[in-house]
Structure 1
């Protein structure tokens, strides 16, 4: 949440420059929290924006699981960034969903995917992009086990050691800072598949060549049981007219409540950043299913605003 409160005002400033200098340009966002950033920019700017993350790997991942060529796969999926659900798998135009589910249960029952398989068994849809990402939205998979003990069933149960991660990333961050300041050359781009997805989309827009992708865009009825203004991660078409969402139909009732809750969280986060409001930030935190105490939520808000006040000017 606080990452969003820090980043959204900066992203709005960038997009104000885009509006002024290159109003026909497309903004491709990779920054997290993806959903909140894209929603905030849609609320207060007129830029054309699309968000890219790991959803583009979904057909590739499923094709590998099924040991078939990716070109034969069509995945019907929807959700929000880091909490996306695959509910129909087509192979050569034939519904192969049940076959794929059985395969998943056989192949992906290891520790890392344990929570994903449990959700598939209970909710009857497959969560994407990975167990650790999806589990952050479900308090069932963090903290002690159901019997009060940390039973070790989920290897990411204790979360991430961000202090350790910051130390490991120190060299990379120093290099990125130097590149941003122009004191070090950019060099070759990283070998990242998500970066190539952006290039494919831009080429499709430029050449008016119709291609299919997975991206974060405004819903506009593509998923009818989610708010039309929500930013959703779904299949899209890119061509000369831009990037537009495909109609995927309603999310299954077993998961749509979780996703609606996340859209509310991100709507509040976007509004808190736009209005620079501590009160709306508290509303946002209380909207999170991992928040169990109003007292602790208030304390968290006050402490985080205090330690980050240099980066959060103007919040009241």
Structure 2
């Protein structure tokens, strides 16, 4: 690790439309994190995308004049061998699987979403065998490397690696960065002067504080949100929260809380979308097709602005800042998915939480958390147990754990769990080796 050859990074899912984000991030930070070899890895079905986005990556690096070697490969083990950092941004089953995740629950009048509820569980079950294979390769070929996971559902996947492997792992999501950016705009403040106090789970995180010059401005932020419409992320409908809801919670909800706090509105929006523009996955499929047409343009030598419409904007800054903080032992604050270890006293120690944390060469140290109030604790605990059950189902092919995971999830009606679960397994069986037995 970190030999004379320089820094080696392997990106699993290198053919993703998001790849220009991370390329841009490494270019911007080349002086402090001089990547020498960057391996972009994909599978045979994604080779055509890997070739297109890989060529764009090479043009971006050449245009920036930085000495980064870009390698395109279908050989994951070659990419991982002696790597210093491995990043994961893959989607098992590609976008067609996401579309199924959205549509199958809707048959039962349930929220269909790629990271939470029944759809989120299906994605996790497909992903867990693959992430464990990647971790196994790392244990053999790059045992000192850090795994930085962006693959959704990020908290569940990060927790799987944390519980079942010896790999050093942190998870990452762009949602806290988007929330921080929105808060800075609300307060008319510079984003780098603001520190957010985030606590919760991935896609179920609350902003408990918004500190500007040492003063907590969260009440001011909530009041301004209640009186206006502030766009947060592209991939979640931005229904207004309502003043009473925000006042009663007393914390800044993340965009995905709308699925829990505004369930009827969100479900109706999904039902109508299927009949008009299509599910979010179908919209993204069209958007990705247009992005890859842009990427083919040999004159394009930078990340196109259109990529922000994809829904993962700003994650390159978060990802590359995090990697640089580890490499340079910065001890700076980041919003990461990290092992709880007693930080949130109402959750098990081995759970992975999303928390404001100090990051240095030894990883992330989450900030201490005062006991959480009842307004958020109950929802947090039940979703945390759903995640733990989903992990057991994904690792062991345990039907009973999957059944109970859906039964306790707030977005699933318990009376339809068996039919819903059977559909999810049957229609994903090609990607579920743990259930094929």
Match of 2:282 in 1: 164
2:153 to 33, 39, 64: 33
Cα contact 1:143–1:158 (8 A) shared by 2? no
- Mapped to 2, the partners of 1:243 and 1:197 lie a distance apart of 14
The one-character-per-residue Cα deviations of 1:168-199 (angstroms, maximum 9, x if unpaired) are: 15637989xxxxxxxxxxx8667742122221
- Mapped to 2, the partners of 1:86 and 1:305 lie a distance apart of 35
Residues 283/86 of structure 1: CA separation in 2 closer, same or farther (3 Å cut)? same
Deviates more, 1:68-77 or 1:211-220: 68-77
Deviates more, 1:260-269 or 1:97-106: 97-106
Match of 1:252 in 2: 373
Secondary structure in 2 matching 1:79: strand
Cα contact 2:182–2:230 (8 A) shared by 1? no
Residues 305/232 of structure 1: CA separation in 2 closer, same or farther (3 Å cut)? same
- Mapped to 2, the partners of 1:306 and 1:228 lie a distance apart of 34
The answer to whether 1:204 aligns with 2:361 is no
Secondary structure in 1 matching 2:210: strand
1:74 to 195, 202, 225: 195
Query: How far does residue 112 in structure 1 lie from its aligned partner after superposition?
Result: 2.2
**Number of residue pairs matched?**
293
Cα contact 2:218–2:251 (8 A) shared by 1? no
Structure 2 matches for 1:6-155, cutoff 5 A? 6-54=126-174, 55-108=176-229, 112-115=238-241, 117-128=243-254, 130=255, 133-138=256-261, 140-142=263-265
- Runs (4+) of structure 1 exceeding 6 A deviation are 172-175, 187-191
Match of 1:184 in 2: none
The answer to whether 1:275 aligns with 2:401 is no
Secondary structure in 1 matching 2:282: helix
Gaps of 5+ in 1: 145-149, 176-186
2:419 to 276, 296, 299: 299
2:433 to 304, 313, 316: 313
- Mapped to 2, the partners of 1:3 and 1:138 lie a distance apart of 23
Cα contact 1:28–1:49 (8 A) shared by 2? yes
Q: Cα RMSD over matched residues?
A: 2.8
Residues 277/206 of structure 1: CA separation in 2 closer, same or farther (3 Å cut)? same
TM-score (normalizing by structure 1):
0.83
Residues 103/36 of structure 1: CA separation in 2 closer, same or farther (3 Å cut)? same
